[in-house]
Amino acid sequence: METTAYIILSVCAAATPLLLAALGELVVERSGVLNLGVEGMMIVGAVVAFGTAQVTGNAYLGLLAAVFAGAAFSLLFAFLTLTLATNQVATGLALTILGLGVSGIIGEDFVGQPGVKLTSISIPYLSEIPMVGPLLFAQNPLVYLSWALVAGVAWFLFRSRAGLTLRSVGDNHVSAHVLGIPVIRVRYLAVLFGGGCAGAGGAYLSLVYVSQWTEGMTAGRGWIALALVVFASWRPLRVLAGAYLFGAVTIAQFHAQALGIPIPAQFLTSLPYIATIVVLVLIASNRRLTMVNTPASLGKPFVPDR
């Protein structure tokens, strides 16, 4: 039972940064914007969180700084793509490259230093319940935040007037504009939210998952988060399931190595990315499934009165 609980906790730890980043990107894409800069925003959030926590000694300040850093990076993307109407794919890729470079410069002095850990919250008595206690009542604050975000995003998109407005912008920005909806403003807010979530996902890596800074520590998680949104067909609850599925694949490689299974370590390390490719190929083969919830205006530039 203890081994099972440990494995589930490990899966939860591996899934949380993916879930945070993917939920933010889901809202962005529901507004009709395709931001491929998730990896860049995550890595900037990771280094800013670590550096702020290291300087102030407060991990919560580090988390807050990471959210602002991710939002600031996304604001640059929004200005270029929404105000200047640049190509969203090219701008997102440039943002990722920029983020990797900036994080390397900022984090140069932090390499090898012990970090300030964002400690878990333990609820008295409830956390002592066998099996269930550690899983539900002794988690990290960012794990609880990710669960709350799933419920919050689901309610916002499908139960609130503002969510309906955002989805209408993503489905047909021209009609939304004719009805008087401020398309650019709605998309700016969505992109800022996505950047903040990506920054929080990066903060989880440097403050919780490994509690240190190493260059390139996101290791492609931003790209997996992007794939998760498509895998989940733009549905928050499916993003939750997909994030934990990919988290399980990530953890499986470590347990396989520990058990001495005669599989090359390089293959085991590549399992999460192989799973990502397989999932995307399967989804692409079913065009009907792909088109069900895909925002019709996704990736299309919008310039008012043109």
Q: Is 299 helix (H, G, I), strand (E, B) or coil?
A: coil
Which residue, among 294, 256, 286, has the nearest Cα to 29 in the 3D structure? 294
pLDDT, averaged across the chain: 89
Residue range 114-134: mean pLDDT, rounded? 82
Given a cut of 80, is residue 290 above it in pLDDT? Answer: no
Query: What pLDDT score was predicted for residue 9?
Result: 86
Q: What is the CA angle 199-203-206, rounded to 5?
A: 140
**For the CA atoms of the chain, what is the radius of gyration?**
19
pLDDT tens by residue, 46-91:
999 999 999 999 999 999 999 999 999 999 999 999 999 999 999 9
Residue range 36-50: mean pLDDT, rounded? 96
Query: What pLDDT score was predicted for residue 145?
Result: 95
pLDDT-derived band at 261, boundaries 50, 70, 90: low
The alpha-helical segments, DSSP class H, found in 179-303 are 183-204, 221-231, 236-258, 265-269, 271-285, 287-292
Alpha carbon distance 10, 16 (integer Å): 10
Cβ proximity of 59 and 53 under 8 Å: yes
| Domain positions in the chain | 2-292
Cβ proximity of 205 and 17 under 8 Å: yes
Query: What pLDDT score was predicted for residue 268?
Result: 66
Given a cut of 80, is residue 257 above it in pLDDT? Answer: no
pLDDT, greater one: 62 or 269: 62
- For residue 296, give both structure tokens: 């019709």
Under CATH, to which class is 2-292 assigned?
mainly alpha
Q: Which of 112-121, 156-165, 274-283 tops mean pLDDT?
A: 156-165
Neighbours of 11 (CB within 10 A): 20
Cβ proximity of 17 and 42 under 8 Å: yes
DSSP state at residue 129: S
- For residue 279, give both structure tokens: 């999932």
